[in-house]
Structure 1
Amino acid sequence: MPKAPSPCIGVCKFKRPGPAGAHCIGCSMTKGQKKLAKKARKPAEAEGMVALVVAQQEQMGRYAHWRAAYLKRCLKKGAAPPAAVRKAG
């Protein structure tokens, strides 16, 4: 089974005012977190990044669109969605 894909859903825009402006409007990751997600090679590392993003989104709000887009991406890549995404629904 392939590892979980990056939490990035391909939107990559940083346009919100204030502290939220450091976070992508598509996935909630910061630019630094996106770099770490690209370096995640082991399945546990990739799932950890997804869990971080899910927790971050719960704190920040306004990311209801992300789960459906990420599940679609997992399906396309043939990867099982991480537990954090399955629980979040």
Structure 2
Amino acid sequence: MRSAVKAAIDAVDVEGLLEGGAPEDEYAPEIQDLAGRIVAAGGVDRDLVRQVWSHWFGTPSRMTEEKADEVVRLVERRLAG
């Protein structure tokens, strides 16, 4: 689960931190939190992604509905194999 979430979060790079040269593990706390919540909820959706992002980065968040949908799509695709 964690690797699927990491791949999705890194690909979307909502905050632009990786593109800006941040370390590969820059989003590690957010990834761990989101992966745990996905397991607990039994799935991932836009609201869950945005909740986690707002928790870590505050509100308003750069995690738009469109970006959250992209994270969901990438996580689901990765988990499907």
Q: TM-score, normalised by structure 1?
A: 0.34
Task: Give the greater-gyration-radius structure (CA).
Answer: 1
